[in-house]
Amino acid sequence: MSDNDSLHIIPEQFADIAPYDDELFREKITSLVREPGFEHAVRYVYKDVDYPRFVEELLKVRNQHDFQQLVMGPFLEMLVKTTTAGLSCDGLENYTPGQSFTFITNHRDIVLDASFLNLCFIRRKMPLTQVAIGNNLLIYDWIADLVKLNRSFIVRRDVRMTDALKTARHLSEYMHWALNVRHESVWIAQREGRAKDSNDLTQESLIKMVGLAPGDDTCRNLLDARLLPVSISYEFDPNDYLKAREFLLRRRDPHFKKSQRDDLFSMETGLLKYKGRVHMRLGACINPGLEGMEGAARQDIVRRACSLIDGSIHRGYELFAGNYIAYDSLSGDPRPCEHYSAADVDSFNAYVEGQLDKVDVPDITADERQFMREMMLMMYANPVKNKLKASGV
């Protein structure tokens, strides 16, 4: 086996979290198409699918690269056509040819954030990225197989406190191996779970994880990770009313926790419901802002990295009329008015009311509906607030 061939084999110590390598691809995809849950999902998304023919074509796929290009690419293009008003991307000049990066983004949709970013790369014939996904979403074994066939690696959320550091180091080691040995980019969200209020801030614990390994030089490890912020903007968040519902339920009961069914429904809603315009904007790698911090206190390095990421993501938002309307409604600031018309206001207010009508919680009072309305407005207003602040306005 040549050195080049060996790079396609996942080292045994990473087999628990890494994507399937091409040696396992045929075995796993053959098993996947026999799963009733997978068949149900395919028939749900592709209403008129000839499933036996679909399976026949799927079994012709040879490896992960072809799976992403020939299966996932067309699937994502279908979602763009049917659930968005278009997917656009800029800043691709920052994705230096021949270089691997850790793309770190704000988090709007459980499934589509990284998928749409990879679709932008597919369109430009650029290298795709591996994708971090929490094991809390891998509710069925076939879902775990599907995401690992699609070059996703697993972030373990269900570990005991005593094992947290070991688990984080293991993940960090895998990411650095993928980046600097296999020379493949990786994607990870800036925080665990989505920011329900769209106030996107990088979790220090996540940056600490990236800086854990190899060795204990946090600054060197972050430089080697080549963190590249990406701003993700959706004109409409299909899950906005579900987030408002969660805010209400938590207001009623501070101990409320979502169920697996809630997570599945959020995934389904984010995938299949309307999102309006979607925009990806790649910022610049933050390494120049970290250079010179070698030897500084770990906490100072981590905070500097978080500040650089947050500033880049906030400045990179693509803002839509609804964002400005929500911001103006909550703040009374007249500056955004030039960004929308009276018709836009009527349309957005009707959209908000229509989304609130979907909330399936019994006995909602007028005060509670107003609370949820304010929470929804906050979701759309916070990107404006953060962009103005990051831009020094």
Which CA distances in Å does 113 have to 75, 278, 281, 376, 381?
A: 15, 10, 12, 20, 20
Query: Tell me, what CATH number does 184's domain have?
Result: 3.40.1130.10
Q: Is the same domain home to 252 and 157?
A: no
287, part of any domain: yes
Q: What is the rounded average pLDDT of the residues 170-185?
A: 96
Q: What is the rounded average pLDDT of the residues 153-167?
A: 90
Q: Is the same domain home to 314 and 325?
A: no
Q: Is the same domain home to 138 and 173?
A: yes
Amino acid 354: pLDDT: 98
Average pLDDT of the chain, as a whole number: 93
Q: Is the same domain home to 83 and 116?
A: yes
| Better-predicted residue by pLDDT, 20 or 1 | 20
Q: Is the same domain home to 337 and 203?
A: no
What band does 352 get if pLDDT is binned at 50, 70 and 90? very high
Angstrom distance (rounded) from CA 226 to CA 283: 12
Q: Quick: pLDDT tens for 116-138.
A: 999 999 999 999 999 999 998 88
Q: Is the same domain home to 251 and 109?
A: no
Angstrom distance (rounded) from CA 386 to CA 195: 13
By percentage, how much of the chain surpasses pLDDT 70?
A: 97
Q: Quick: pLDDT tens for 281-294.
A: 999 999 999 998 98
Min mean pLDDT across 219-233, 325-339, 345-359 is at: 325-339
Angstrom distance (rounded) from CA 139 to CA 147: 12
Query: Is residue 23 within a helix (H) or strand (E), and if so which, with residue range?
Result: helix 22-32
Domain count, the chain: 2
Q: Tell me the residue range of the domain where 376 lies.
A: 239-256+268-273+320-393
pLDDT at 219 over 90: yes
Min mean pLDDT across 131-135, 266-270, 336-340, 350-354 is at: 336-340
pTM: 0.93
What band does 148 get if pLDDT is binned at 50, 70 and 90? very high
Min mean pLDDT across 255-269, 291-305, 363-377 is at: 255-269
Angstrom distance (rounded) from CA 200 to CA 197: 8
Provide the residue type at 333 as one letter.
D
36, part of any domain: no
pLDDT at 142 over 90: yes
Q: Is the same domain home to 325 and 246?
A: yes
Q: Quick: pLDDT tens for 220-270.
A: 999 999 999 999 999 999 999 999 999 999 999 999 998 888 888 998 999
- Short-list 357, 361, 355, CA closest to 379: 355
